[in-house]
Chain A
Amino acid sequence: MATAVQQPSDAPMILLEKVNKWYGDFHVLTDIDLSVKRGERIVICGPSGSGKSTMIRCINRLEEHQAGRIVVDGVELTNDVRKVDAVRRDVGMVFQHFNLFPHLTVLQNLTLAPIWVRKTPKAEAEATAMKYLERVRIPEQANKFPGQLSGGQQQRVAIARALCINPKVMLFDEPTSALDPEMVAEVLDVMIKLAEESNVTMLCVTHEMGFARSVADRVIFMDRGQIVEQNTPEEFFSHPQNERTKLFLSQILAH
C-alpha cells in the first residue's frame, strides 16, 4: 500500500492547495484551498454550476485536477494509479442517482468491493454487509434487485455500499436531490445517524439546510468555481458575510 507511514492524528484528512480545473475554456475550479480535519463534517452548498460536485469528485479522482495539490490521508493524488487506488480504498462515495449495479442483488452490491478490492472472505463480507443494511434499516431487502426498491431505499443501499469498504472519508454528491420529497427524510435520517455514531469524515454537497444545521461542523459556500465563504452553521446562516452568500440563502430559504 502507498500509505506506509501512519499519519499523525492532527494532520488534515483532506488537503486541497491552489486546486484549478478547466473544462475546455471554462474555469470550473479556481484556486481552491481547503483543509479538512479528521472526523470533520462539512456541508458544501452553492448555486448550480458553481463547481461543488466537481470539487468533491476530484477528491477520489473521478475528475482530474489540472493544477495544485490534493492530498488525502497523506497520499497525494497524481497520475500514479497505485495512489489513486490507495485513496479510493479509503473514500466512499454516494451519488445523486445512486448508481447501484442493477444486475446484482442488494447484498451483492454491498459485498462486491470488500470481496474484490479488500479480498475479504465472502462470509465475512456478507456479515458486514448485513450489519450495514441493518444500520440503514433495510436488512429485509438484501436479496432483492435495486430495480425493485424505492428511490429512498436505493439511496440507503448506496450509503451502505459505500460504508462496506470501511472508509475514512465519505463523499455525498447531492444525495437527496433525485428523490421524491417523501423519501428525502429517510435518507437524511440515515446520514444524521451515521454522523452521530461514527467518526468518519464527511463532505456533503447538499441544499438541505436543516441537515447542515444539525450535522455540519462547517458550511462552505461556493460560487463560480471559488470558495466564497465558510463558517460554522450558526454563523453561516445568521450572519452571512458575502453578498453572493446572502443572495443564495435568501433564494433557498425564501419559501
Chain B
Amino acid sequence: MTDSTISAIMPKPITGPLIWLRANLFANPFNILMTVLVVWFLAMSLPALLDWVLLDAVFQANNVRECRAAGSGACWAFIGEKHRLILFGLYPYDEQWRPMLVVLLLIAMVGVSCLRRFWTKWLAPMWVATLMIVGVLMWGGVLGLTYVENARWGGLPLTMILAFVAIAVAFPLGVLLALGRRSNLPAIRAICTIYIELVRGVPAVSLLFMASVMLPLLLPEGMSIDKLLRAQIALIVYASAYLAEVVRGGLQSLSKGQYEAADALGLTYWQKQRLIILPQALRITIPPLVNTLITVFKDTSLVVIIGLYDLMNAAKASFVDPAWRGSSIEAYVFVSLIYFAFCFFMSKYSQSIEKRLAKSQNR
C-alpha cells in the first residue's frame, strides 16, 4: 500500500418518501401483510369512531330520550348537563368555584414544580402554603366561606388531593422502607420486609376496606378518624410498599464500589445515601417509578369501595339520574380523558427528565 491521500468520501445517506415507505412499511412479506391488516382495520374503525364522536353526536338535548332521537352518536349533551356533578361530586353547587380554584391551583403548582428554575428553597414553603390554601378553600368556615364537611368533597379535586398526598407521603416512606430492607440492623430489616410483603400481598381494595372497617375498631373508645383520612392512610400504606420495592431495585443495581468509595471518604450513613446512592438509584428507576405513580393516581378510584365520591364514583353517580339513564359510555369516556391527561403528562415529563439526565452525563 502506498500512503496516498485518502480519497473516500462518506456516502450520503439515501433518503426519500418512497425509500422510507419501503423500509418501514413494505420491507418483507410479513411486514407487507401487517401494513395491509393495519390499514384495513383503520379503514373499518376510524369512520365509525368519527361518526360516534362527532358527526352523529348530539350536543343539545334535555334528556337521554331526546338525545337518542336526534342522533345515533355520543350524547355529549349529557356531559354538558352533568359535568359539574362529575367534576365536583356532591360539593354544594353554589360553592363549586372553590374546588375549581383548588384544581387550578394544584395544576399550577405542579407546573411550577416541574420547571427547573423553580427548584429552590422556596418550593417546599410554597407547597405548604398551597396546601393550606387548598384546605381553607375546601373546608371553608373562615373568611366568610361557608363550612363544607369533607364527606361532601368529591370529583376531580378529591382525586387530586388523594393522589398528591398519597404520592408525597408514600415516596419518602417508600425510600426509607427500601433502605430499611437493606439495613445491617436485623430488627429494622425484619420490620421493613414484613411491612412490604404484607401490604404487597393483599389487594388494594381490601386495604381500603380494612382501613375503613378495622381501623375504627383498633382505636380507643370515643376516638374516630375521618373516612377521608382513613382512605388517605390506606392509599399511602399501599403506595409506599410498591414504591419501596421499585427503589430497592435501583439500590441493588449500584456496584459495591460506590458504597465503599463513600465509606472510605468518611461519609456518614445518611450522607452516603443522600449524596451518592439515592441520586443514582432513583435516576435508574425513573421508568418503573413513574409507572407506579401512574398506578397510584388511577387506583385512587378504588375509594369507591368505602363510599367516597372521587372522580370515578361521581361519574357513576351522574348517570343514575332517570332522565339520563344509559349515558354511562359518555361518562366513562369523559373521566377517562381526564385520567389520561394527568397520566400522559406524568409519562411525558419523566421522559424529558430522562433525556436531560442522559445529556448531562453524556455517556
Contacts and interface: CB of A to CB of B under 8 A. Distances in A.
Contacts of B14: none
B261 A95 contact: yes
B363 A101 contact: no
Contact of B260 (A95, A117, A162): A95
Nearest to A85: B266
B363 A93 contact: no
A226 interface: no
Given A62-B260, A99-B258, A99-B260, A117 B363 contact: no
B265 A147 contact: no
Given A99-B257, A99-B260, A117 B265 contact: yes
Contacts of B258: 99, 101
B25 interface: no
Contacts of B257: 95, 97, 99
B360 A145 contact: yes
Contacts of B363: 102, 145, 147-148
B148 to A, nearest CB: 46
Given A112-B275, A147-B363, A103 B280 contact: yes
Interface of A: 60, 62, 85, 88-89, 91-93, 95, 97, 99-103, 112-113, 116-117, 145, 147-148, 161-162, 165
Contact of A99 (B261, B275, B279, B360): B261
Contact of A117 (B266, B283, B361, B362): B266
Given A145-B360, A148-B362, A116 B280 contact: no
A88 B263 contact: yes
14 contacts: A60-B264, A88-B265, A95-B257, A102-B361, A103-B279, A112-B265, A117-B265, A117-B267, A117-B271, A147-B361, A147-B362, A148-B362, A162-B264, A165-B265
A85 B268 CA distance: 8
Given A62-B263, A101-B276, A147-B361, 17 more contacts: A62-B260, A85-B268, A88-B263, A88-B264, A95-B260, A95-B261, A101-B261, A102-B280, A103-B283, A113-B265, A116-B267, A116-B271, A117-B266, A145-B362, A147-B363, A165-B265, A165-B266
Interface in B242-259: 255, 257-258
A145 B261 contact: no
Contacts of A95: 257, 260-261, 264
B145 to A, nearest CB: 47
A45 B255 CA distance: 26
Interface in B275-291: 275-276, 279-280, 283
Contacts of A165: 265-266
Contacts of B360: 145
Given A95-B261, A99-B257, A145-B361, A88 B279 contact: no
Contacts of B261: 93, 95, 99-101
Interface residues of B, number: 22
B275 A116 contact: yes
B266 A89 contact: yes
Q: Which 10 A-B pairs have the closest CB atoms?
A: A99-B261, A99-B257, A88-B266, A147-B363, A113-B265, A93-B264, A117-B266, A89-B266, A145-B361, A103-B279
Contacts of B271: 116-117
Contacts of A147: 361-363
A113 B266 CA distance: 7
Contacts of B268: 85
Nearest to B279: A103
A145 B266 CA distance: 22
Given A95-B261, A116-B275, A103 B266 contact: no
A97 B254 CA distance: 14
Contacts of A148: 362-363
A142 to B, nearest CB: 15
B167 to A, nearest CB: 24
Nearest to B272: A116
Nearest to A147: B363
A39 to B, nearest CB: 21
Interface in B49-107: none
Nearest to B276: A101
Contacts of A112: 265, 267, 275
A60 B267 CA distance: 13
A62 B261 CA distance: 9
Contact of A62 (B264, B276, B362): B264
Nearest to B361: A145
Which among A91, A102, A117, A148 has the highest number of chain B CB atoms within 10 Å? A102
A94 B296 CA distance: 44
A85 B283 CA distance: 29
A161 B262 CA distance: 11
Interface in B209-259: 255, 257-258
Contacts of A62: 260, 263-264
A112 B264 CA distance: 12
Contacts of A99: 255, 257-258, 260-261
Interface in B320-363: 360-363
Which among A95, A97, A99, A147 has the highest number of chain B CB atoms within 10 Å? A99
A120 B283 CA distance: 28
